[in-house]
Amino acid sequence: DDANELHLNVLAKLSGLLIDPQFKAKLMAASSPEEFLKMIADGEAAKDALDARYAPAATSMQPAQSAGTSPKILAVTACPTGIAHTYMAAQKLEDTAKDLGVSIKVETNGSGGAKNVLTAQEIELADAIIIAADTQVEMARFAGKRVLKTGVVDGIHKAKQLIEQAPSAPIYQPSAQEQSAPRSEGAKGIYKHLMSGVSNMLPFVIGGGILIALAFLLDDYSINPSSFGSNTPTAKFFMTIGGAAFGFMLPILAGFIAMSIGDRPALAVGFVGGAIASSGGAGFLGALLAGFIAGYLVLGLKKLFSTLPDSLEGIKPVLLYPLFGILLIGVILTFFVNPPVAALNTALNSFLTNMGTGSRVLLGMIVAGMMAVDMGGPINKAAYVFGVASIEAGNFEIMAAVMAGGMVPPLAIALASTFFKKKFTKKERGSAPVNYIMGLSFITEGAIPFAASDPLRVLPACVTGSAIAGALSMFFHCTLRAPHGGLFVLPVVGNPVMYFIAIAAGSIVGAVILGVLKKDVVEDQA
């Protein structure tokens, strides 16, 4: 788990550095591996020095405060995975604020927890707060301040607009009426609650899943095929630890979905609901339902118990909500959710297992293509969650297709910039090769700047390339027991040679289509 956390932190820092076009240009101009690594170390040191200025004891906003000519802005960025979007949005907001002469401090709620946390004094002095997040953010601390809430992608693409609009944003008041408003946001609100569960679930899924995959890699199938993964002491060691972490996946998913809806009192209710769904055969879908049911169940209990005397206010969160909430979620899951959902899961798994080659290839095309449609957005996350659910259900081919589809867009762009130079500006050619690293690391977000600048050409090329990679992965019966990792988990991929070929083929096709669709640039022909 420590190694997995280190991997996530490295990717997080790399994402923050690579959004700077000047840094990327210098990196690509490195003449030796030593110089390349030194530039990364220097860039990280410079970023750490910048972060140090924002430490609680620092006075990062004093210049603007004394000048009185610039607004003092605070921001919070957060994305479901907490790896790329979180830090890209933070870096973009900081860079844009610097260009505009605006004082800013950005708190990042990433995979390693909240960093650069906003202090009470800074909140008090701030003119406005920007919340660029797709997951739950602690909002009570911003009561009485102007708060502009939006998605994390807007922090990357609309940083200037957000900074300019923030000082005139509405005053945030965490009243009961305001707290219930997000729960009536329709599909957007449902997606936010779902992503709150997914983001908190991912560390368990990734860490546990990779350890389980290592158990299979280090085991001897011939000893006892029925207990493959636990035959040797080493394999059993990894399987025990990974299985324990992976076992928390469904309770954590349901618990934090519920908490996103009903706040802290709903966490225990959702957690128990997820555990009941897991033990009752309802699986991933049952845990999703348990999370939403638990969240709205606690909201109902809050309204029901709101008529009690104020003297009983203290026992509500420690007695009434958990007692009645856990009892009711147990009844609902046991008698009304688990039986039909378990039957549906059995039928679905049977269908997936018995699919013909053509149907499997089509499924691979669909889920892999979805990974490239919005590159980290709702459609991308839906495909990824489906892949994770398939691992939990024992079907490992779908996750392989999903990861292949997520790796192709940045790789296709990097290849296109290498072999079709006239189709890209000098600035794009300088930054695109970094997508080799992003793609091989399964960070689809590396393709976002290129897709945003030319979506009508980039998206069709990437979606086509991803769909081909997913289809070939399914055709070659490639499997993946780890839910993340890119090239780093290739040793635990089933049929790794053909999997590599599938990804390469999809990337090449995407690059060629991109080269055909994009027009030659007029500027910088030299």
Round to whole Å and give the CA distance between 201 and 196.
9
Strand, coil or helix: what is 520?
A: coil
Q: Is the pLDDT of residue 248 over 70?
A: yes
| Phi, psi values for residue 4, rounded to 5° | -65, -40
Question: With contact defined as beta carbons under 8 Å apart, do 327 and 436 qualify?
Answer: no
Q: Is the pLDDT of residue 135 over 90?
A: no
Q: Is the pLDDT of residue 369 over 90?
A: yes
Q: What's the pLDDT at 297?
A: 95
Q: Which of 219, 279, 218, 292 is nearest to 253 (CA)?
A: 292
Sequence letter at residue 355: M
**413 pLDDT band (50/70/90 cuts)?**
very high
Higher pLDDT, 291 or 176: 291
Round to whole Å and give the CA distance between 228 and 215.
9
Q: Is the pLDDT of residue 112 over 80?
A: no
Average pLDDT, the chain: 82
Q: What's the pLDDT at 80?
A: 66
Q: What is the pLDDT of residues 271-309, one digit of tens each?
A: 999 999 999 988 888 999 999 999 999 999 999 998 888
Q: Which of 348-357, 360-369, 432-441 has the lowest mean pLDDT?
A: 348-357
Q: Which of 196-200, 389-393, 463-467, 522-526 has the lowest mean pLDDT?
A: 522-526
- Choose the catalytic residue: 76, 79, 290, 328: 79
**148 pLDDT band (50/70/90 cuts)?**
very high
Q: Which of 13-27, 319-333, 367-381, 505-519 has the lowest mean pLDDT?
A: 13-27
Q: What's the pLDDT at 401?
A: 95
Mean pLDDT of 184-206: 76
Q: What's the pLDDT at 15?
A: 58
Q: What's the pLDDT at 59?
A: 37
Q: For the chain, what percent of residues have pLDDT higher than 70? A: 84
Q: Is the pLDDT of residue 357 over 60?
A: yes
Q: Is the pLDDT of residue 445 over 80?
A: no
In terms of phi and psi (left: phi > 0; alpha: psi -120 to 50; beta: otherwise), the region of 398 is alpha
Q: What's the pLDDT at 23?
A: 67
Higher pLDDT, 250 or 84: 250
Longest dimension (CA), the chain: 78
Q: Is the pLDDT of residue 228 over 70?
A: yes
**315 pLDDT band (50/70/90 cuts)?**
confident
Q: Which of 97, 99, 140 is nearest to 118 (CA)?
A: 140
Q: Is the pLDDT of residue 188 over 70?
A: no
**430 pLDDT band (50/70/90 cuts)?**
confident
Higher pLDDT, 45 or 382: 382
Dihedral of alpha carbons 6, 78, 413, 450, sign: negative
Q: Is the pLDDT of residue 102 over 80?
A: yes
Higher pLDDT, 202 or 322: 322
Round to whole Å and give the CA distance between 285 and 117.
35
Q: Which of 110, 281, 203, 277 is nearest to 483 (CA)?
A: 203
Higher pLDDT, 350 or 479: 479
Question: With contact defined as beta carbons under 8 Å apart, do 291 and 257 qualify?
Answer: yes
Tell me if residue 79 is catalytic: yes
Mean pLDDT of 178-196: 62
Q: Is the pLDDT of residue 67 over 70?
A: no
Q: What's the pLDDT at 61?
A: 45
Q: For the chain, what percent of residues have pLDDT higher than 90? A: 34
Q: Which of 43-57, 80-94, 414-428, 486-500 has the lowest mean pLDDT?
A: 43-57
Q: What's the pLDDT at 340?
A: 94
